Chain A
Amino acid sequence: MKEMHGLDVDPLTDIAICSGQTEAFAAAVFALIDPGDEVILFDPSYETYGGCITMAGGIPVCVDLDPPHWTSDPNKAYEAFYCQNKSYNIEQVLVCIINYHRKLYGIKTAGWRVGWAIASACIASTIRNIHTRITDCAPAPFQEAVVTALRIPPEYFELLRSDYESKRDFIIKMLAGVGFRIQFKPQGSVFVFAELPESCLLSDVEFIKESIKQAGVVAVPGCRFFHTMPPSDKRPPADLSYQQRYIRFAFCKSDATLAAAAQKIAGFSDARGRLKLF
């Protein structure tokens, strides 16, 4: 944390080691959310967040990021914080940041299930107490291995980043080449959120079904990452059809797999090189 973000975090009081980032999030939510508490999420968001908040009796309140560059409109955020009949003392609002196991993703061991939450001591303490009641501890041998992983010299991660950047560029070029609209190049993560062109009449789910059946390539429909909020006085009905137009492709795959996917997609394209489904 010090090396990456310049933050002085106390290892004895400010950290809860959990069974993966999923459990770190669950522990944080159960530790802090009372039934009826609202939790603001920025949409599109990972499906687990909303489900976990709901399971704890909380209410997910989604603030839409605006396509195509997923920018946040301050007015929407303001509206989420200050709704009709409610007012909040802003100091009471907790902002919890769950640190992705960035370096674990970097050492490609997502299946080891070691993650963590970092927060001020007054919150981290509670997260730890609840975590021990959900899974007791993260797998012990892998906690030891993660210590080694976190001490890998920065050069390894530079090489890794450059490797993933190439994969990202490869997949973007390939997808754009067959007709996907890529208006936003991902700045991080291992995913591309590609938009179906207007000429494609299929929804995201329909497209993926056809892609599996006909091209033999799997991706994830984007609709699962959007949570439609009901319109209100301050939230007029909006055109949310874009929420069924996105496909999430992962590029955390070997070069051979990415090349094979490109080949299958090419085989599923017409003479102009556009996907037949478009």
Chain B
Amino acid sequence: MASQGIGETGLTDSGPSSHSHHNHNMPYAVYRGINPASTSFINQESSGFDFGELEEAFVLQGFKISNDEAKASLYAAAAATGKPAATLEMFPSWPMRFQQTPREKSKSREESTDSGSLSSRVQPHLEPESPISRKASSDHQQNQLHITHKSQEQQQQLQNMASNNPRTGGLQTELAASKSNSEKKKGAASTSERVLDPKTLRRLAQNREAAKKSRIRKKAYVQQLETSRMRLSQLEQELQRASSQGIFLGGGTTAGSNISSGAAIFDMEYSRWLDDDQRHMSELRTALQAHLSDGDLRLIVDGYIAHYDEIFCLKGVAAKSDVFHLITGMWTTPAERCFLWMGGFRPSELIKMLIGQLDPLTEQQVVGIYSLQQSSQQAEDALSQGLEQLQQSLIDTIATASLHDGMHHMALALGKLSNLEGFVRQADNLRQQTLHQLHRILTVRQAARCFLVIGEYYGRLRALSSLWLSRPRETLIVDDNSCQTITGLQMTQINVTCQAKSSEGANRTMPHVK
């Protein structure tokens, strides 16, 4: 196979099944060869490749390899495998397949000039598309067959783009035009010079969605790699420090980020959702200030509700793969995590927060909202008690596990644990219903303000978390002769430094350090 056979995790629909397709040759896995497995992956996605999306991905720069080292090793790795061309020709080669070769020259020229920055930026996005590009030389035929039956319209789209604009120009305008979600559709529209029928449009949209999802998964995986790498270097540093100074440093590192692929994917999608949230909120803000008509405002509010529905849907998917990630709140910021209830916010508390901010309300609305608060409170209590019951039952099962039938009890316990997903789902269901009911009770304008308030509230809560995490911590180090106030975040380092600075009279349990 001409492919480099690099695998990536979390890039198929079902995380676990993807692992068997992997072939980690390089530390920074980027590409995946087309093998039957990945072909089936593509089939699973039931979409072709949205080249419009791909090109937009070039400049989106939503994802960057965070350090140059990574880029360097990517090139080194690429070169080492003797296929630098695959990286560089990614873009020129792939449209080529649908067009005649004459284009190749101009494309490769263009590509080579900015291949450096582009490739590295683009690689993470390329999972659905890269198999095609990598197969530039060899499985051309296979790809063609593979692609053509799937994405005739992309081919046309691409041809349109390529033929109507000079490549650079086309790329740039495409990319500039498709910076945000709402503009993506515009981008697609501007590329196709001819009118596409609704089915094609729908397919394009589906392709875009699939490409988006794949990008997210790719981001998630690379993010995981990045985190692991950082953690590794942190550990190495600490180890070095410890060995050179003979000090035992334990537990100082950030908690191991051994998150499952399902959790990583969800984290990525959640951060994308947060960005969307910002956008929705600014839309709401401008809409309210501009005093739009109720009809227009209704559209925006409905859009925001759909946005919330989306996160609940995502959480539902995540609950199936990693319920603990949700329920322990590892996807939220620390301040949110502290007040977490069953993997999210507590609807009754949200309403309590809102009641003061929604004036003026009619009496009927007030009654409705108070009744909503009460209902959600009752439902929350019921679910909490159900969860307690589950916990009790689990405790009983594990406690009575003896030597003889331990396995049986553990199996029972496993079964009980699987009920957690149901609870998180019901809690999310409750949250979703509460928001919908709020929407029903309030007028359009009130609802717009209400959602703005909610969004801003959680934004502030998240900001609070960051502020808390980055606050300067003052420590009072007392030794025999002096009190020193040291400011800093690395407690261990501070301790070491202080020991070094302390006078000779200090009691030293640790060896003297320079």
Q: Do they bind each other? A: no
A residues lining the B interface (CB < 8 Å): none
